[in-house]
A and B are shown apart, each in its own frame.
Chain A
Amino acid sequence: MSGIPAGLTVEAALGRWPFLSQFLEDRELAGLLDTPQVPLAEALDDGLLHELAEFIAAMESFLGTREDEVRELTIKGGQAKDGSPEKVQELTIRVGEVICIVGPTGSGKSRLLADIEWVARGDTPTGRHVLIDGEEPDDRWRFGSGPKLVAQLSQNMNFVMDLAVEEFLILHAESRQAADPRDKIQRIWNWANELAGEPFALDTPVTSLSGGQSRALMIADTAVLSASPVVLIDEIENAGIDRRQALDILIKQEKIVLMATHDPILALMGDRRVVIENGAMVKVIAPSARERANLDELKALDERLMELRRRLRAGEALDEI
């Protein structure tokens, strides 16, 4: 009835569901931890067993590995702010794609992203519908106990916990009950160091990382440990991070990447870009061959600017550029 096998000892249960210790502590049953060989079903009354089974079910679904299930998102157009039908009536984004979202402030970029996050069903101000793998999903992405559909990386985010990089990653891995946490932490750290260029150690406090290092760590961490299938990036500053590689890392982990950006280099790195105007998607542009060719020139320009920055920092004069 409870879903907990009758003979399961406290020790075996903790091995299977490490988060049980918290459950027991919260109910002032931590004493059970001292008697690891006692079967749970004997130690707890029916009411508690029932509560425990519910807790386990909810935690399992929260930690679930549903990320594998999402292969594509489809956005069905609704209407613009003036009520006219949205010009782009259907946009399908597949795993591994990078889609840029461009448009002036107030044009409705945030609403589009919110529609995706909320898996709109014609019940938001835009009237859009968002389908997952071609189907209108049920409520689980909205209220379910599992992970959220969208993970967000924005410009002004910080680490506020006062922990070393490794402790921080362990905490995140634990909260996700990740398999092979050691391996994952190592992978995140390696990637973050590659992205940032200036290396940091596993025992560096997260609060003393530079801006580039923080962003690199956040991206690598989201790629490896976040269960959300969609990653939304709000610009990636050029300082101290290899942006192409950052996107590649996310794609490699089978994420769908949405990027709100007005940086020409980032925008041209995307597979397509969606133009938002007056609350509606008005155009989807795939970079042309000429645009792609221009990307090289833009990068060269960018490097020149970075070089000037470096010289400025080193106390040099910029009479000659």
Chain B
Amino acid sequence: MRFVTVSGPPAVGKTAVIIKTLEHIKQAGSKVGVVKFDCLATDDDALYRKQGIAVRKGLAGALCPDHYFVSNVEECVQWGLAEGLDVLVSESAGLCNRCSPHIREVLAVCVIDNLSGTDAPRKIGPMLKAADVVVITKGDIVSQAEREVFAARVRMVNPKAAIMHVNGITGQGSFELGTLWTGTKETTTVEGLKLRFSMPAALCSYCLGETRIGADYQMGNVRKMDLDLPTGTKTDGGPGAPGVSGGGS
């Protein structure tokens, strides 16, 4: 089975790109499936199902979505194999731009759109930087010049990736993207493989459901901003605050 991780900021058109691309692969007689990762709610599974694409969804809920992804990805691969899929795609939104679901030795695709602004490629971080293929969408509504500027910015962040322009509405470019997916190597397990980029080092009381504000409620990996406050300013006195030792990372 060919396994592909697709990531990208919310609302760039990941689902549309995946549907258009899998359509071509399906037409060629292959069995395709998607595991959709999201946070709180998604109806995309219905969209996939409507297209005849096998689908499972995973909602991270209170957990960090990327940690949730990595804790479940092996099971997803095994599901794909059990379903007899030829191509399995994992779809996840990079929500804080800090993480990336990309795994070494597994084809990594990052989807971004031309409307996100020319600084976006620099802000997106590891899911763009560590991708093998960068798909740029919504090219049909911006000028050629803007597309070129945007592609150049992507190139500066990731000099090695193949940059492809795909239109999620008309499907332009999706056939070509599909040839990369079917041409990638076989995956039978991801156990033992490594993430291309480590997940953030964060385990604090807020990760565990704390909602109250103040030093008394901050435990674990807490780091304070350096705001250069005048002495005597009221702070919550948390770890790392002026005059308080300990805490911080």
Contacts and interface: CB of A to CB of B under 8 A. Distances in A.
A, B assembled together: yes
Interface of A: 19, 22-23, 26, 54-55, 57-59, 62-63, 110, 114, 118, 123-125, 142-143, 145, 147-148, 151-154, 156-161, 168-169, 171-172, 175-176, 214, 218, 221-222, 225-227
Interface stretch (B69-77, B81-89, B143-151): B143-151
Given A157-B141, A218-B144, A54 B159 contact: yes
A148 B165 CA distance: 10
A123 B141 contact: no
How many chain B residues sit at the interface, stated as a range, is: 20 to 34
Contacts of B146: 159-161
Interface string B119-146: 0001000000000000000011111111
B115 interface: yes
Contacts of B176: 114, 118, 142
B204 interface: no
B162 A175 contact: no
Chain B interface SS verdict (over half)? helix
A114 B172 contact: yes
A225 B145 contact: yes
5 contacts: A143-B162, A148-B165, A151-B144, A161-B146, A172-B148
Nearest to B165: A148
B175 A124 contact: yes
A160 B159 contact: no
Given A22-B156, A114-B172, A158 B143 contact: yes
B170 A160 contact: no
B226 to A, nearest CB: 16
A153 B159 contact: no
A171 B143 contact: no
Given A156-B140, A156-B141, A158-B142, A171 B159 contact: no
B218 to A, nearest CB: 27
Contacts of A158: 141-143
Contacts of A153: 144
Contacts of A147: 148
Given A59-B156, A175-B149, A221 B175 contact: no
A159 B118 CA distance: 13
A157 B159 contact: no
B155 A58 contact: yes
Interface centre among B115, B118, B144, B146 (most CB of A within 10 A): B144
A165 B106 CA distance: 43
Nearest to B132: A143
B152 interface: yes
Contacts of A22: 122, 156
Contact of B159 (A55, A118, A169, A225): A55
A110 B155 CA distance: 27
B98 interface: no
Contacts of A54: 159-160
Given A114-B175, A225-B145, A175 B153 contact: yes
Contacts of B242: none
Contacts of A152: 139, 144
A54 B155 CA distance: 12
A114 B24 CA distance: 14
Nearest to A160: B142
Contact of A161 (B118, B148, B165, B179): B118
A157 B140 contact: yes
Given A62-B155, A114-B175, 12 more contacts: A110-B170, A124-B175, A151-B144, A156-B141, A159-B142, A159-B143, A160-B114, A171-B118, A172-B149, A218-B143, A221-B144, A221-B145
Contacts of A26: 122, 157
B160 A62 contact: no
A231 to B, nearest CB: 8
B149 A154 contact: no
B219 to A, nearest CB: 29
Contact of A171 (B144, B149, B165): B149
